[in-house]
Structure 1
Amino acid sequence: MKRFLILQLRPERDASDAEYASFLQAGGLEADRTHRIRLDAEPLPEALDPAEYAGVIVGGGPGCVSDAPGEKSSDHARIEAAVLSLIPRVDAGDVPFLGCCYGIGILGAHLGAPVGKGRYGEAVGTADCTLTEAGRADPLLDGMPDRFDAFVGHKEALEALPKGSAHLVSGPNCPYQMVRYRQNIYATQFHPEADASAFEQRIGIYRHHGYFPPDQADALIAMCRASNVTAPRRIIANFVRRYG
């Protein structure tokens, strides 16, 4: 049985570990069915072939692909370059791929679509997401309600649909919440893996990273506790079920 490759871009160990646990839980996966690589701590093996895996999942992170080279730390630039180096091989083989938050920027950059901070960034909170006609027919969204809430918090976003892609989920403040390229390459702007507990932890970890005024952290944590965000995790489960 092939394993799933999980690439993580978060340099904060607590956030990375919690994100990995969320992927396992949402997908119903045991750790031995995954190959986890924390790109902040280890390089991407040069000989790594994504086609040898059941699928590739890319997590989120505090970086932005739209930052100018001089605005990126050396670690950020190295991590981003490692992920981008893998995407041509994913693209060439239409390898099952699910990029989460940062992952949609990575996919957009690879496909030459505009990714920027000027139009569709969303404050930390929940987004009102709606399936498009293409989304209602897509197997990765099987069993999803037509409208659902999802956790978001991002400075940049896709500003146009990448050429050759299907628009699967839209939102009032950020139109491209989920897209598919080819038949098996997916990306979401929201965090499909995160439940309220995981997102609450991230708020604490990233309170000084510019996503929100630090003094709003307690109010945002209360928002998480009062939210009803459950549907997005089905996307992870569907991905594992379909390709595993």
Structure 2
Amino acid sequence: MTTPRFLLVSPRTGEEIAAAERGDFLRATGLAESDLDQVVIDSTDAVVGSLDGYVGIFVGGSPLNITTDSPSAYQEHVHAQLAPLVGGPLPAFFVCFGAGFVTDLLGGHVGRTHPEAAGPTTVELTASGRRDVLLRDLPHEFPALTGHTENIVIPALECEVLATAPSCPTQMVRYGDHTWACQFHADMDPQAMKTRMDFYRDYGYFNAKDYDDIVATLPEVDTRAANQILANFVRFCADYQPR
């Protein structure tokens, strides 16, 4: 029997960071190397391509911002590539940047009211989250890793809010029955966060003078529940039948 195949779409530039991100998703999902393909949208020539043969899609984070006043041609291209994945024929899971992207695409509002510095956050499931197929076997409150300068201010009307947090009111949403987006990094463990911080020291995700202090606290963060969400998504996709 052929193992289900997944696609990771990485809307970012840089071969090393893209490779590190793929490693993060492999670890969090438990997928084998051969089960996770990756396409990196690093230019206006890069495209998602055919989805034939895949059972699910992950969309990784990005240094792009939805709140950018004048998006570049590259960012507009990224948006055009990602838009068909929202509510498309295959289950999709968007991480970090994707939370804002999905919200904006569906008519919600993204702003900079509740940024979170790189490091731990506390995720709290809503009543809807406790019933969600990806979340219902998780603790109602669990730690995760995060780092973002913009956030969902007003969720799209068509989205169900699944998780919140004291530091950022909307942490995870679902659109329809097979598209999810989370603000926190369900793909990361402490080492992954350190690696990501090393790549993006000057992007405003944390104060550079706090780097050593943040890194020192990372090993204390238990990301197993957050990572389990992606493993649950893999199981969901294997059994998913379009309505």
TM-score normalized by structure 2? 0.89
How many Å separate the matches in 2 of 1:155 and 1:93? 28
Q: Which moved more, 1:99-108 or 1:221-230?
A: 221-230
Answer yes or no: is 1:102 the counterpart of 2:102.
Answer: no
- Larger helix percent: 1
2:58 maps to 57
Question: Shift of residue 50 of structure 1?
Answer: 4.2
Contact in 2 for aligned 1:127/1:151 (Cα 8 Å):
yes
Alignment of 1:67-216 (within 5 A): 67-69=68-70, 72=71, 74=72, 77-78=73-74, 80-91=75-86, 93-117=88-112, 119-216=113-210
Change (3 A) 1:18 1:92: closer
Can you list the C-alpha shifts for 1:53-100, whole angstroms capped at 9, x where unaligned? 21111101211011111xx5x5xx41x334422444334535311000
How many Å separate the matches in 1 of 2:52 and 2:114? 33
Change (3 A) 1:67 1:88: closer
Q: Please list every run of 5 or more consecutive structure 1 residues that lacks an aligned counterpart in the other structure.
A: none
| SS state at 1:194 partner | coil
TM-score normalized by structure 1? 0.89
Can you list the C-alpha shifts for 1:15-71, whole angstroms capped at 9, x where unaligned? 2211111111111112222221111166005xx3447521111101211011111xx
Can you list the C-alpha shifts for 1:167-217, whole angstroms capped at 9, x where unaligned? 101111211100000110100000001000110111222112222221211
Q: What amino acid maps onto 1:214 in structure 2?
A: A
How many Å separate the matches in 2 of 1:170 and 1:220? 22
Q: What amino acid maps onto 1:241 in structure 2?
A: R
How many Å separate the matches in 1 of 2:205 and 2:84? 32
Change (3 A) 1:88 1:16: closer
1:8 maps to 10
Change (3 A) 1:178 1:92: closer
User: Which 4+ stretches in 1 moved above 6 angstroms?
Assistant: none
How many Å separate the matches in 1 of 2:154 and 2:145? 21
Contact in 2 for aligned 1:94/1:182 (Cα 8 Å):
no
How many Å separate the matches in 1 of 2:159 and 2:76? 23
How many Å separate the matches in 2 of 1:34 and 1:122? 29
Q: What amino acid maps onto 2:229 in structure 1?
A: I
Indicate the RMSD between aligned Cα atoms, in angstroms.
1.9
Question: Shift of residue 218 of structure 1?
Answer: 0.7
Contact in 1 for aligned 2:128/2:160 (Cα 8 Å):
yes
Q: Please list every run of 5 or more consecutive structure 2 residues that lacks an aligned counterpart in the other structure.
A: 239-243
| SS state at 1:158 partner | strand
Change (3 A) 1:57 1:82: farther
Alignment of 1:15-26 (within 5 A): 15-26=17-28
Answer yes or no: is 1:66 the counterpart of 2:60.
Answer: no
Contact in 1 for aligned 2:8/2:38 (Cα 8 Å):
yes
| SS state at 1:166 partner | strand
Change (3 A) 1:134 1:213: same
